[in-house]
C-alpha cells in the first residue's frame, strides 16, 4: 500500500523527492516534498495534502531554500517541525504556521539560478529540547542551546566555504556532536569528518585513514556508542572505536555515492541510500566479527519452498533463496566457499575475491551438477523450472577458507 501512495503523491506534486519525516505516533502523517523547500504534510489515511512551505513576511527579503531543503520532526514533540531556509523555521502545529527562530545563519546569498547561502542540515539533541545545530552550504555550523533565542557560530578546523553535509547531535552524550563536509564543489576531495565532545568548542578530525573522498553523511549506532558509519561519494565505512579506525563495508555494495544511512534498531539492520536511488541492507550483527582473525558469522536458517525457481506467471520469476554469508578477512585475496551435506560430501563449491575487512556474500542455495552425485539416487533433489537444483531440507556445513585462515558455520534448511 505504501508504494501505491508514494507513486500517487509523486505524480501529484511533481519534482524530485526530497527529505521525508514520519510522525512516530501515526505513520500515516508524512512530511515530504520537492526541491527548494516545497514541502507538504500528507495524510495517507484520508488523502489530505497540505502545502506547508514557510513564507517571508511583508517587507522581508524572500527566504532562500536549498535544492534539498532539510526538515526535522522534533523527537521531543511530534507536532514540532523544523525547516531550514537561510533562517531556521519552527512550526508548533505540524507546519500550519511558522516562526523564524534565527537570523540568517549563512554568509548571505549569491546571484544565480540555484539558491546559495542556505541551511543544508539540522539536528536537535535528544537530551534537550531547543539544543539545535544547523549547517550551511557555505561552510558554517551554528548552535543554539535555547530554542533559537541566541545563536553561536562554531569555528572548526575545516577549510572555509565547504558544504556542510551533516551536523549530527549525539544520541549517547549530550555535549557530543559530529560534522561532515563535502568539498567537491571546490575540487577538494578530502574526507572531512569531525567530532566535538564540548558542544563544538574543540574538534577532533576523524577518518583520516580512509581513501580521500567527499563525505555526505555520518550516523551513530543507536545502541552501541562506539559504532559510527560514514557514507562518501564512493563507499561506506564503519568504525567500532569512535572513529579511530575504519573498515570498508564491501561485498555486494558497489562503489557508489552514499547520501543517507539509517539503522533499524529492532533488527540491527543498516540501510544505505545512494545517489542512484537504491537502498542497500546489511545486518550489523556481523560487525562483531571485526578483529584480527578470519571469521564467519552464524547463518540464518533458510525456509524450504517448492516455489524456488518456478517460472511464475507470464513474465514474472518465482522466488529464489538468498543466503547471506558475512565474514571478516584481515587481508584481501581469494576466498573459497564450500558447502557440505551431513555426510561431509561437497555439494557446492566456488571461489571469489575478498576485500580486506568486513565482507558480505550472497549464496543462492544451489547444488552443483557434481554435487548432485553426493546424494543417493532415491534422495537426489530434482531441478526447479529454471534449471537450478536447490538445497532440500537438512543440515549443511558452510566452509570459508582463504590465505588468512578458515571458518565454518552451520546452515539449516527447514
Q: How far apart are CA 388 and CA 368, in angstroms?
A: 9
Contact (Cβ atoms closer than 8 angstroms) between residue 91 and residue 97: yes
The residues with which 403 forms a beta bridge, in sequence order, are none
In this prediction, residue 312 has a pLDDT band, given cuts at 50, 70 and 90, of low
Model confidence pLDDT, tens digit, residues 370-383: 999 998 888 899 99
* Strands lying side by side in the sheet with 346-354: 346-354, 333-340, 394-402, 405-413
Which residue would you say has higher pLDDT here, 114 or 198? 198
Q: How far apart are CA 394 and CA 231, in angstroms?
A: 40
Please give the mean pLDDT across all residues of the chain: 91
Model confidence pLDDT, tens digit, residues 181-198: 999 889 999 999 999 999
Contact (Cβ atoms closer than 8 angstroms) between residue 99 and residue 89: yes
Grid look-up 507536532 returns 79
Contact (Cβ atoms closer than 8 angstroms) between residue 228 and residue 205: no
Contact (Cβ atoms closer than 8 angstroms) between residue 138 and residue 123: no
For the residues 281-285, what does the mean pLDDT come to?
Answer: 85
Q: Residue 329: which of 408, 256, 281, 400 has the closest Cα? A: 400
Amino acid at each position: 500500500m505504501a508504494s501505491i501512495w508514494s507513486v500517487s503523491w509523486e505524480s501529484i506534486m511533481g519534482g524530485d523527492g526530497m527529505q521525508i519525516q514520519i510522525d512516530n505516533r501515526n505513520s500515516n502523517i508524512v512530511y515530504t516534498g520537492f526541491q527548494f523547500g516545497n514541502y507538504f504534510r500528507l495524510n495517507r489515511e484520508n488523502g489530505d495534502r497540505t502545502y506547508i512551505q514557510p513564507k517571508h513576511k511583508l517587507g522581508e527579503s524572500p527566504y532562500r531554500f536549498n535544492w534539498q531543503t532539510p526538515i526535522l520532526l522534533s523527537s521531543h514533540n511530534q507536532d514540532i517541525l523544523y525547516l531550514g531556509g537561510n533562517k531556521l523555521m519552527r512550526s508548533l502545529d505540524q507546519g500550519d504556521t511558522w516562526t523564524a527562530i534565527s537570523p540568517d545563519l549563512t554568509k548571505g546569498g549569491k546571484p544565480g539560478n540555484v539558491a546559495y547561502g542556505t541551511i543544508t542540515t539540522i539536528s536537535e539533541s535528544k537530551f534537550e529540547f531547543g539544543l539545535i545545530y544547523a549547517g550551511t552550504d557555505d561552510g558554517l555550523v551554528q548552535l543554539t542551546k535555547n530554542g533559537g533565542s541566541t545563536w553561536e557560530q562554531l569555528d572548526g578546523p575545516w577549510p572555509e566555504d565547504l558544504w556542510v553535509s551533516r551536523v549530527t547531535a549525539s544520541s549517547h552524550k549530550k555535549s557530543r556532536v559530529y560534522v561532515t563536509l563535502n568539498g567537491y564543489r571546490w575540487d577538494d576531495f578530502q574526507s572531512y569528518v569531525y567530532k566535538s565532545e564540548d558542544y563544538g568548542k574543540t574538534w577532533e578530525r576523524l577518518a583520516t585513514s580512509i581513501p580521500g573522498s567527499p563525505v555526505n553523511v555520518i550516523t551513530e549506532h543507536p545502541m552501541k556508542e562506539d559504532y559510527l558509519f560514514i557514507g562518501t561519494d564512493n563507499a561506506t565505512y564503519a568504525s567500532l572505536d569512535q572513529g579511530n579506525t575504519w573498515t570498508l563495508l564491501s561485498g555486494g555494495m558497489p562503489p557508489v555515492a552514499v547520501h543517507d544511512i539509517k539503522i533499524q534498531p529492532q533488527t540491527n539492520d543498516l540501510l544505505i541510500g545512494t545517489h542512484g536511488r537504491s537502498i542497500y541492507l546489511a545486518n550489523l550483527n556481523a560487525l562483531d566479527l571485526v578483529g584480527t582473525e578470519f571469521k564467519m558469522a552464524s547463518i540464518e536458517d533458510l525456509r524450504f519452498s517448492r516455489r524456488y525457481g518456478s517460472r511464475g506467471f507470464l513474465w514474472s520469476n518465482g522466488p529464489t533463496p538468498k543466503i547471506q554469508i558475512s565474514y571478516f578477512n584481515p587481508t584481501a585475496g581469494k576466498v573459497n566457499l564450500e558447502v557440505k551435506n551431513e555426510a561431509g560430501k561437497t555439494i557446492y563449491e566456488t571461489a571469489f575475491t575478498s576485500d580486506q575487512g568486513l565482507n558480505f556474500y550472497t549464496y543462492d542455495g544451489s547444488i552443483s551438477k557434481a554435487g548432485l552425485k553426493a546424494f543417493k539416487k532415491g534422495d537426489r533433489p530434482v531441478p526447479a523450472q529454471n534449471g537450478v537444483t536447490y538445497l532440500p531440507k537438512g543440515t549443511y556445513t558452510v566452509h570459508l577458507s582463504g590465505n588468512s585462515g578458515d571458518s565454518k558455520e552451520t546452515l539449516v534448511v527447514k
